[in-house]
Structures are given as structure tokens and as C-alpha cells.
């Protein structure tokens, strides 16, 4: 899809990895990436496997594939930058949480926006069965309050891929206590995709995380009314925890 290309914006010795969400693309990360890059930060945002091409492609990929891409981008940044942060939207937040669990003090800090970790939807219990008999369901894209803004994402959910994400949640939740780096959590008060239970689970498992509530955005907050709040807050977070980015 035009606009779904990977992002690589060279800058200084501090790097930020950005990860887009489930069914989405790097289009939801580009304004954030450009804001950080304008401050002299090196920014990369990979296109996750199966995203930005076709729904059929997505149904052949799993959480392990997406995580491997995030890890590869992180290692690439570490080869170029002295200090590296990781940030993500929705499932992208889930992926960078896992990165912080696995890579310890290699991660200088993480920022997540409406990270997904759980669901209370009753039909989610049917996903193991449905994923075997149906290719897709109606989608979750474009949950944006701001008029005239459209998210570049699939209109449907690839069910096999969705089941893989569902299977990853308990693993990520279990290991939240392993995260030692600073954690900044943005959560939209009104989110029609990720339920409040995800935020509760995150704060319960990662007790040193700081939560900030977004009152004027829906799920895709990086393209919504509160985007400047996220961008400025994440830049302040980087400058606080990486003196080299203070300029």
C-alpha cells in the first residue's frame, strides 16, 4: 500500500524504534516519527510482516514474525545509536513491551499508546475455532475522533493472525515485572478497539509505569486530536532519560 513503507530517519546518537499496530501500517507512525526526527533523533519504524500488502498475507504471519521484525529494527538502531528507546501503538505497544521484557537494560525506555494485552469480549473465546473456519471478520481500523483523518489499514481482521496475538497476551502479561526501564503509558479514555482491561493489566504488572490519559482521542491516538500531546510527551521522556537528546 502506498504510505505503508518502512520509515528510516537518520539523526543523532539517540534512537527511537516505533511500531505500528495490528492491521495498521507505518502511516499511523509517520507524524510521530517526523516530530522526533525534527529534534535530532534517529527514528525507524518497520512495516510488520503481513501488513500493508493484503489480508491474505497477514493470515500467514504470527506474533513471532512481528516481534522478530521489531527485534531486527532494534538491533539495527543499536548498531547506529548509543541509546535506543522503543515506542508503539496498540499491538505495537505490546511488541515493545515484549522487547523491554526480553532485552533488559538495552532498552532505555518505552512509550506505549493504547497497548493491547487482554480482552473481555465474549466472542474472543470463539477465536480458536473461528480462525480455523473463517479467514476474516469486520475490522477495527480508523477509530479516530478527529474529522477528516483516515488510518491506512485493512478493513477486516485476519483471524489466524488475531488468534496469534491473543495467544501472545498471557506471555507478555506474565513477564511485565521483568521490565526495568522507564515506562510511559498513554491511554485514550474512549477507545473502541482496546478495552480498559488492557490498561489495568499493564499497570498491575508494571508497577513503575506512569499513565497519562488522553481525553480527546479514540484508539489511533497518534493520528487524532491528542497526537501533539503524545509527540511532545515522548520527546520530553527521551530527553529526560537520555541526556544526549537534550539539545
The set of catalytic residues is 90, 191, 219
Please, are residues 22 and 139 in contact by the beta-carbon 8 Å criterion?
Answer: no
- For residue 230, how far is the Cα from the chain centroid? 13
Please, are residues 119 and 195 in contact by the beta-carbon 8 Å criterion?
Answer: yes
What's the CA gap between 36 and 30, in Å, rounded? 10
Tally the residues of the chain. Answer: 247
Query: Cα-flanking dihedrals φ and ψ of residue 33, to 5°?
Result: -60, -45
What's the CA gap between 139 and 115, in Å, rounded? 17
Cα Rg of the chain (Å, integer): 17
Return the number of other C-beta atoms located less than 10 Å from residue 75's C-beta.
Answer: 13
Single out the residue of 87, 71, 84, 116 nearest to residue 19, CA to CA: 87
Amino acid at each position: 500500500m502506498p504510505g505503508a513503507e518502512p520509515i528510516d530517519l537518520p539523526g543523532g546518537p539517540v534512537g527511537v524504534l516505533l511500531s505500528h499496530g495490528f492491521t495498521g501500517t507505518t502511516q499511523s507512525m509517520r507524524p510521530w516519527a517526523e516530530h522526533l526526527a525534527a529534534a535530532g533523533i534517529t527514528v525507524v519504524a518497520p512495516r510488520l510482516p503481513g501488513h500493508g500488502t493484503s489480508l491474505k498475507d497477514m493470515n500467514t504471519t504470527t506474533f513471532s514474525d512481528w516481534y522478530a521484525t521489531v527485534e531486527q529494527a532494534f538491533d539495527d538502531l543499536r548498531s547506529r545509536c548509543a541509546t535506543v528507546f522503543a515506542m508503539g501503538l496498540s499491538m505495537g505497544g505490546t511488541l515493545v513491551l515484549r522487547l523491554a521484557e526480553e532485552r533488559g537494560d538495552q532498552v532505555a525506555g518505552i512509550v506505549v499508546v493504547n497497548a493491547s494485552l487482554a480482552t473481555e469480549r465474549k466472542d474472543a473465546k470463539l477465536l480458536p475455532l473461528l480462525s480455523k473456519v473463517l479467514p476474516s471478520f469486520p475490522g477495527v481500523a480508523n477509530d479516530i475522533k478527529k474529522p477528516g483523518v483516515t488510518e491506512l489499514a485493512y478493513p477486516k481482521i485476519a483471524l489466524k493472525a488475531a488468534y496469534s496475538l491473543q495467544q501472545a497476551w498471557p506471555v507478555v502479561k506474565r513477564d511485565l515485572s521483568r521490565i526495568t526501564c522507564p515506562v510511559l503509558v498513554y491511554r485514550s479514555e474512549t477507545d473502541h478497539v482496546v478495552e480498559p482491561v488492557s490498561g489495568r493489566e499493564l499497570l498491575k504488572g508494571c508497577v513503575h509505569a506512569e499513565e497519562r490519559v488522553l481525553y480527546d482521542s479514540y484508539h489511533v491516538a497518534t493520528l487524532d486530536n491528542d497526537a501533539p500531546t503524545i509527540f511532545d510527551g515522548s520527546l520530553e521522556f527521551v530527553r529526560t532519560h537520555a541526556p544526549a537528546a537534550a539539545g
